[in-house]
Amino acid sequence: MPAPGRLMLFKTLMMLAGAGTVTLALGAHSAAPDVAVAPDVAVAPDVAEAGSMEAIASATTEPRFSSPWVSYVPASATVPSPSAFLGRIAGAPGELVDSRQAYAYARALAAASPRVKVFTIGRSEEGRDILLLAIADEKGIANLEELKGATAALADPRTLEPGAAERLIADARPIYYLNAALHSDETGSTESVLELAYRLAVSEQPMIRRMRENLVVLINPVCNPDGRDKQVEWFYSYLKGRTDRDTLPRQAPPYWSKYAFVDINRDAHQLTHETTKAVSRMFFEWHPLIVHDLHESVPLLMSWNGTGPYNPNIDPITFTEFQALSFHEVETMTGLGMPGVSTWNFGEGFGHMFMDSVAMNHNAIGRGYETFGNGTAETLVQSLAPEEFSREWYRVLPPPADKFSWSARDTVNYNETGVLAALDYVAGNSRMLLRNFYTKSLHSWRRGIDEAPHAFLIPPDQGDPTRVAQLVMRLQAQHIEVSRSESPLSLNDGAFPGGTYVVRLDQPYRNYAVDLLAPQHYPKDGGEPYDDVSWELPAYYHLAVIPTADPAILRLPLTALVSAPRPEGHVSGAGPVYLLKDTGQEGLFEARYRLGHFQLSIAERPFVQDGVSYPAGSWILPAQAGLQEALRGVAVPMGLEFAGVKAVPDAPAHPAPVPRLGVWVPWADTDSIGWVRYSLDQRGIPYTYIRDEDIRAGKLRDKIDVLLYGHVDLELAEQIQGIPRSWGPMPFKKTPQTPAFGSPAASDDITGGIGWPGLGQLQDFVERGGLLVTLGNASMLPIEAGMLRGVRRDSGGVPRSSAGGGAAAAAASQDAVTRTPGAHVRVSFVRPEHPIAYGYTASSYVFRQNFALYATPRRWLRMAYCTTCLDGPVDARSVVMEWGGHDEQPFLVSGQVWGEANLIGRPAILDSPVGRGHIVAFNFNPLYRDLNRGDHRLVWNAILNWRAILADRSAAPMGAR
């Protein structure tokens, strides 16, 4: 029960919040039974729903883990409460709503209340609707279209001068968007926002009335319904009734959506997941001033605003706004006696690639909570580390103890109280926040006029016109306007051909355009970043995008692009032999698969035909029936140019049939490797999904030619042994009780990994002539388990999983540890004639996260004196690419690096014969979140040239057959 003394405190807070006079007794009509309930809760003018106070008090583990605002549910004669609909309060122990129940409740709420409307804003990969609730007073609901029009107008200052903006602000309302259930095992947010929606719709508390009258609150109760439903079924299958944290099994299903797990929250720039696309559509339809994403991890509630360094391309006003909001929450909740509410000390605020970032990147405010959660709906005893409950300036009232009981309702209480505090702040400062929104858009537009650069120019033909078009489309998807110059451009600082794309910077989203198109400069003393430090699209795409300081570009005639550019390719000449010049086209991979069984060779050396120079990697298609027609079907949509010639040129070439491709996805981590499947699916590449049990079953060589093992966030032991067998069997398949399981892959038991038998089968696959391609951490498996011999790991690197601040931040200023936490850095081909190099220059750059460092291979001769080192001479024949350029350019292209001296010269790609097969191991992830499209072809080359790679025995190490 609440401690004495909180009554006065609460009274003060309600008055501060604009609540005016409050009646402190229970409402006269309360049907609450005469039991011990919180005496200091101001219910009137509401009437508490019968039993709600008791149910909430009983589900709350300590009175201080609640607040007067959420310790009852208001009764309504006409609108169904969560209890009336679900038969329980939100956050009741041992229960979770799935998307069907949550949506049914949302629809019931909208049907019963004139203050609630429901919209469908998207459909998930597995076909579930994504719903949005809008809540305001009756007048607001009647005027939603006008209110949307007002925020849209404020977002574009080119058509709204300041005087008109001020008149608009007088009638507009801030729109506040709440996002729940993005990370599926953070289960409390859906429960929280369903009760919040009801409270906002029916409560007559003055504070809440003011929210309804001044705001439009948007709630997305289940933004990732595929994951929610899998998680809810997982809870009821494996977690329900288990309250001993020390003996809990894995708390989440292997998948949260078709492709991603935690990374569903990492595609703000590229908009790949349906969840993100839906929120992006919502953003540009409603222009909410605030996008607030609800997560769970930090005790007891952390309101994000980063530690800095802050992104220099985001208007500084945004950072003051989100600080103000966070401190308001800390102040209010601490005043209500709720311990453990903090801000700062989480993330850095430089990279904005998350769900809320759609707001940060478009002149609005992106924010989030990390509320404490159990990962289960059961009540658990939780223990905190000393640094989690110390008293700090950013955590003025720390969590109460190092060990306490925490419930699902506690999470609801914190979420809902925090959000109410935030909504109260925004309702009370609505004009200021609307004005800030307009001012930020105005600043962004004016900077493009008043300062250089005034535009970015993207030449249309850079070897891969399709990739240029894809870059332009990414900008358009972010509502960054792009134009095209039909005639050649002559500017003070350069000349550009007709057809050049132009991103004029006199536009409201100028700041985001600069952030995406110019290199990042993360400060060297900036501490450990939370995620990547570079997202420069030209670096990801390997394209030149040139800034201009010539203001004339703002006055020259340009054609605004109203749709996505579609470069068309051609088939010229009568044949019967056709050639395709390799100019680095990323689409060659897809084109090869589309051409299926047509014969095709790839040139191993440059050659000249009919006066045209063809580099190594170019295609030679001999005369064959139906070829010209098939080529036309590929050339036109994919922007490829095929030239007909009379005869097959005299050039060394190797046949390039399409391989049978397998993609191994370990059950222990489906997340970052999900992007491999995404990239293949987007290109329509057929492949076999290989599970751990498929590897254990063996006979891999009978089924596939190439096994692609993408980057996983697993150490070697977990890559081999997988999810602990002691938790098994853990089926993940469709049953009447678990209809959401079994997608995108099913299993009778996801535990046990490949084990040692599976490792043997992998070795067998390679020795029987298979090609194993490993990316990022996946390369640990062949190297550190000894399939690819002679390569030692160096302790000078750090694994990616150590990122995230804390102790690592202390090491950040040291160059002793090599770190490339998501940066673009230079590489060079040691074997420029290798098929992996086709389409690239000898010196290039790639995107690199923190991966283990490996030494150049050595031979092992004396086998004495040192158990950890190899004592023979260096044997660099298997090194295809190494870190560092061979030209004069700086190692860092975009982002930041530390300790690069210990990285430069080490292998970046190894290709070694093993038995009759080969292993190609990448020390980076060339298939990263559908971003580094300029790196993709390195992998595509390895797959398309599999026959040639297997045939090459020149780098055979000692003992290889």
Tokens 């222009």 belong to 287
Query: How many helices (H) and strands (E) are present in the chain, helices listed first?
Result: 29, 37
Angle between helical axes of 408-428 and 430-450 (0-180°, round to 10) = 70
- The nearer residue to Zn ion, 186 or 191, going by C-beta atoms, is 186
Closer CB to Zn ion, residue 343 or residue 820? 343
Residue 8 CB partners (closer than 8 Å, separation 6+): none
Instruction: Identify which range of 179-187, 207-215, 497-505, 648-656 contacts Zn ion by CB under 5 A.
Output: 179-187
Q: What is the DSSP letter of 531?
A: S
- Closest distance between Zn ion and the C-beta of residue 293, in Å? 8
- In the window 797-836, what residues touch Zn ion (CB under 5 A)? none
The alpha carbon of residue 849 and the mean position of all alpha carbons in its chain are separated, in whole angstroms, by: 15
Token couple for 706:
């190439």
Of 183 and 395, CB closest to Zn ion: 183
Distance, CA of 425 to CA of 329 (rounded, Å): 9
> Residue 949 and residue 836: Cα distance in Å, rounded?
9
Query: Measured between alpha carbons, how far is residue 318 from residues 27, 287, 311, 398, 549 in Å?
Result: 42, 15, 11, 27, 27
Nearest approach, Cβ of 531 to Zn ion (angstroms)? 13
Rg of the Cα atoms in the chain: 30
In the complex, minimum distance from the CB of residue 49 to Zn ion, in angstroms, rounded to a whole number:
31
Rounded to a whole number of angstroms, the minimum distance from the CB of residue 669 to Zn ion is 16
Q: Which is nearer to Zn ion, 265 or 485 (CB)?
A: 265
Dihedral sign computed on CA atoms, order 350, 355, 361, 367? negative
Taking the complex as a whole, how short is the minimal distance between the CB of residue 611 and Zn ion, in angstroms? Answer: 59
Residues in 754-793 at the binding interface with Zn ion, rule: CB under 5 A: none
Cβ atoms of 211 and 290 closer than 8 Å: no
Query: Taking the complex as a whole, how short is the minimal distance between the CB of residue 805 and Zn ion, in angstroms?
Result: 15
* Distance of closest approach, residue 288 Cβ to Zn ion, in angstroms: 20
- For Zn ion, the closer CB: 370 or 875: 370
- Give the nearest distance from C-beta 234 to Zn ion in angstroms: 16
Distance from chain centroid for Cα 89: 33
Residue with tokens 């355009």: 513
Can you say how many angstroms the Cα of residue 219 is from the centroid of all Cα atoms in its chain?
A: 21
- Closest CB 186 distance from Zn ion, rounded Å: 5
For the window 186-225, what string marks contact with Zn ion as x by the rule CB under 5 A? x---------------------------------------
Nearer to Zn ion, 186 or 416 (CB): 186
Spatial CB neighbours of 127, under 8 Å, sequence gap ≥ 6 = none
Query: Which class for 910: exposed (0-12), middle (13-18), buried (19 or more C-beta within 10 A)?
Result: buried
Piece of 43-51, 185-193, 664-672, 681-689 that binds Zn ion (CB under 5 A): 185-193
Binding segment for Zn ion among 184-192, 212-220, 475-483, 755-763 (CB under 5 A)?
184-192
Mark residues 405-434: x for contact with Zn ion by CB under 5 A, - for none: ------------------------------
**Interface residues for Zn ion in 284-303 (CB under 5 A)?**
295
Residue closer to Zn ion by CB (options 295, 510) is: 295
Please report whether residue 367 would count as binding Zn ion according to CB under 5 A.
Answer: no
Beta carbon of residue 244, minimum distance to Zn ion (angstroms, whole number): 24
Nearest-angstrom CA–CA distance, 496 and 443: 29
CB of 255 to Zn ion, least distance (A): 16
Smallest distance from the beta carbon of 58 to Zn ion, in angstroms?
Answer: 28
Length of the chain: 961
Residues touching Zn ion, count (CB under 5 A)? 3
Segment near Zn ion (CB under 5 A); pick from 183-191, 234-242, 468-476, 617-625: 183-191
Q: Specify the DSSP class assigned to residue 856.
A: P
Comparison of 187 and 311: residue with beta carbon closer to Zn ion? 187
Q: Say how far apart CA 733 and CA 737 lie, in whole Å.
A: 10
Separation of alpha carbons 343 and 396, rounded Å: 10
Name the residue nearer to Zn ion (CB basis): 186 or 229. Answer: 186
Q: Measured between alpha carbons, how far is 845 from 653 in angstroms, rounded to an integer?
A: 27
- Provide the minimum distance between the beta carbon of 801 and Zn ion in the complex, in angstroms, as a whole number: 16
Q: Which of 115, 117, 148, 183 forms a contact with Zn ion (CB under 5 A)?
A: 183
Site map (CB under 5 A) of Zn ion, residues 247-286, x = contact: ----------------------------------------
Closest CA to 723 of 238, 250, 237: 250
The residue range among 31-39, 182-190, 698-706, 952-960 that interacts with Zn ion, by the rule CB under 5 A, is 182-190
Quick one: 46 or 186, whose CB is closer to Zn ion? 186
Nearer to Zn ion, 295 or 937 (CB): 295
Residue placing its CB nearer to Zn ion in the complex, 186 or 515: 186
Half-sphere exposure (Cβ direction) of 185: Cα atoms closer than 13 Å: 15
Q: Which is nearer to Zn ion, 183 or 824 (CB)?
A: 183
Q: CB neighbours of 592 closer than 8 A, spacing ≥ 6? A: 600, 656, 658, 944
Task: Give me 540's structure tokens.
Answer: 């990801």
Minimum CB distance to Zn ion, residue 373 (Å):
9
Name which of residues 847 to 906 contact Zn ion (CB under 5 A): none
Stretch near Zn ion under the rule CB under 5 A, chosen from 142-150, 178-186, 324-332, 802-810 = 178-186
Question: Is the Cβ of residue 288 or residue 373 nearer to Zn ion in the bound state?
Answer: 373
Distance CA 509, CA 513 (A): 6
Which residues in the 93-132 window bind Zn ion by CB under 5 A? none
Distance in angstroms (rounded) separating the CA atoms of residues 398 and 395: 6
| Nearest Cα residue to 187 out of 234, 153, 148, 152 | 234
- Note the residues at the interface with Zn ion (CB under 5 A): 183, 186, 295
